[in-house]
Amino acid sequence: EDVGRHDALLSAGRAAKKAGDPSARETLIEAVHLADRLGDGVRMARAALACSRGMFGLLGSVDVELVDALERALVLLDDADSPLRASVLAVLGAELTYSQDRARHRAACDLAVAMARRVGDPVCLARVLTLYASTLWRPDRIAERLDLADELERITAGLGRPQWRFSAASLGFQAAMEAGAFAVADERMLQMESLARQLDQPVVWSYLRLRQGHRKAVAGDLGEAERLATEAVERGRAAGYQDSEVFYYGQMWVICYHAGRLDELRSVFELAVAARPSHTVLRAALAAIYSETGQTPQCQRMVEQLGRDDFLTMDQDLLVTAAVATIAACGVANIRLGGVLRPVLSPYEDQLIDNGSAHFGAVSHYLAMLAALLGQHAEATAWFERAAGTHSRLREWPMLARTWFEHGRMLARAGDPGSTGAARELLDKAVAVATEKGFVGTLAVANQQLEALRGRA
């Protein structure tokens, strides 16, 4: 009777999950506990696996309940290599992404990948590599993620399982965007769109809209980006995914930055910082909001609270955190923080800053801002020109306009006659792009700087 009840709970939980019903988790956890009471490792493992969403459970946190269930299932399972054991290890590794126990996280990931390759089952290998790739969202692992995306595309093509193909395409899109391979990212986007229509599941549509909005924001279609981001969060919220809000506000930060609407997000980020004071990316993002909205005292206080230790954690938010911290530091001319940030960004000078929901353009743009802050104008000019070349080649119009503006502002502040003409030319170019594309925020600050130049003349 208990075995039959467990199997019914597992089937019901899986169906509810596909339908986007938030009660799916409760049903699946009940199946987990029932299997544990039965001492049935196989059933417990299957129920625990069904709780996974294909990556970490909650951004920035560890799902302790699921981790405990996975580890208990490993105790009950046979120690021999098997697709089920490899899958449990892979989910455990993904759920420990934000754990302080890095050795435990790494061991689970490594054991899972090695076992899946030994077993040779393509379905198992697809699951394990997808989960493993989700643990590599770090700026120093882009090449590995691109290779994994290609491998997953090959493996999943013949499985007849559109869910796995969708996950592979989504991971490949994110890695390609971060690597600046926008043509590859667009191909993966087309794959996601086709597969989403086949699957027609709320969570799948949520992730698709998240990716589509992300791409539109990078290209400068801010209105459509906001519409897609709103749909993504609504679908994710309805399906019970708590961090859909986090992804949404990450996207909205970038959209509002270029649109001159960051003041709309101030109260949201103030509440987020109060709730999660240890999250450096939230504190740095709020400091940058204060800087961009003219609240200098508040920005100064938050900038003073940011130190070297805040940039030691290597995860997908490292470069995003450094980017918004750079905006804040330059806004209040904090040379101390500028000195902290430069070695954080320098190893990635050829890369873009992208964490899957927020895109901040070329690292060289922020190295230029920091060099300008530190009074190294010749070096800053070289970085600005490099960033402008990258943004122009990739047709990143919002960041191209920002790079021209920041470069022009640096030259305008120099005050010498030789720099003034070059500053005006750069600011005029920023105004032209911002006017054509509707980047109201960049347009306002560029026009303000031009007015200052005219007043000085």
For the whole model, what pTM was predicted? 0.88
Give the pLDDT score at 151. 94
Average pLDDT over residues 270-294: 94
Distance CA 275, CA 264 (A): 19
Q: What is the mean pLDDT of residues 59-74?
A: 87
DSSP 66: H
For residue 387, the model assigns a pLDDT of 98
CA-nearest of 328, 233, 342, 352 to 280 is 328
Mean pLDDT of 371-382: 96
d(CA 444, CA 453): 14
First-to-last alpha carbon distance for the chain, in angstroms, is: 88
3-state secondary structure of 240: coil
Q: Which of 101, 103, 76, 100 shows the shortest CA–CA distance to 88? A: 76
277-289 mean pLDDT = 94
Percent of the chain residues past pLDDT 70, beyond the cut: 99
Which element (helix H / strand E) includes 222? helix 222-238
CB neighbours of residue 81 within 10 Å: 13
Could you tell me which residues come within 8 angstroms of residue 347 by beta carbon, excluding any fewer than 6 positions away? 140
| Percent of the chain residues past pLDDT 90, beyond the cut | 75
Q: Cα(144)–Cα(137) distance, rounded to whole angstroms?
A: 10
Mean pLDDT across the stretch 46-53? 89
Q: Is 58 helix (H, G, I), strand (E, B) or coil?
A: strand
Average pLDDT, the chain: 92
Average confidence (pLDDT) over 370-386 = 97
Whether 15 has a pLDDT exceeding 70, the answer reads yes
Confidence at residue 220, expressed as pLDDT on a 0 to 100 scale: 96
Query: Is the confidence at residue 445, as pLDDT, over 70?
Result: yes
Q: List, as one string, the DSSP characters of 162-218.
A: HHHHHHHHHHHHHHHHHHT-HHHHHHHHHHHHHHHHHH--HHHHHHHHHHHHHHHHH
Reply yes or no on whether the pLDDT at 457 is more than 70.
no
Residue closest to 372 by CA, chosen among 363, 384, 364, 380: 380
DSSP 346-383: GGGTTSEEE-SS-EEEEHHHHHHHHHHHTT-HHHHHHH
pLDDT range class, residue 278, cuts 50, 70, 90: confident
Q: Specify the pLDDT at position 233.
A: 94
Whole-angstrom distance, CA of residue 45 vs CA of residue 272: 35
Report the pLDDT averaged over residues 154-177: 90
Residue type, 242: Q
- With vertex at residue 223, the alpha carbon angle to CA 263 and CA 426, rounded to the nearest 5 degrees, is 75
CB 180 within 8 A of CB 387: no
Task: Supply φ then ψ for residue 317, to 5 degrees.
Answer: -95, 0
Strand 359-362 to strand 352-354: parallel, antiparallel, or no bridges (unpaired)?
Answer: antiparallel
- Number of C-beta neighbours around residue 294 at 10 A: 10
| 98 pLDDT tier (thresholds 50, 70, 90) | confident
Range with the largest mean pLDDT of 103-107, 272-276, 328-332: 328-332
- Reduce the DSSP state of residue 328 to 3 states and report it: helix
Encoded amino acid at 443, one letter: L
Distance CA 446, CA 263 (A): 18
Confidence of residue 380 (pLDDT cuts 50, 70, 90): very high
pLDDT for the residue numbered 137: 85
Q: Residue 301 to residues 57, 124, 192, 341, 370: CA-CA distances in angstroms?
A: 33, 50, 44, 17, 19
**Mean pLDDT on 159-177:** 91
pLDDT of 2 reads 85
Which tokens in the block code for residue 214?
Answer: 């992300």
Asked if pLDDT for residue 21 goes beyond 90, the answer is no
- For residue 53, the model assigns a pLDDT of 77
Q: How confident is the model over 221-243, as pLDDT tens digits?
A: 999 999 999 999 999 888 777 77
Task: Give residue 208's pLDDT.
Answer: 95
Asked if residue 76 lies in contact with residue 48, where contact means CB atoms within 8 angstroms, the answer is no
**Greatest C-alpha distance within the chain:** 88
Least confident of 21-30, 106-115, 319-328: 21-30
Q: Is the pLDDT of residue 306 over 80?
A: yes
DSSP-derived 3-state class of residue 457: coil
Question: Distances from the Cα of 84 to the Cαs of 116, 165, 253, 425, in angstroms?
Answer: 9, 20, 41, 62
- Give residue 261's identity as a one-letter amino acid code: R
The mean per-residue pLDDT over the stretch 366-378 comes to 97
User: What is the structure's pLDDT at 16?
Assistant: 87
Q: Vertex 203, ends 14 and 26: CA angle to 5°?
A: 40
Residue 274, pLDDT score: 94
Give one DSSP letter per residue of 113-179, joined into a string: HHHHHHH--HHHHHHHHHHHHHT--SGGGHHHHHHHHHHHHHHHHTT--HHHHHHHHHHHHHHHHHH
- Res 423: pLDDT: 95
Give the residue with greater pLDDT, 437 vs 203: 437
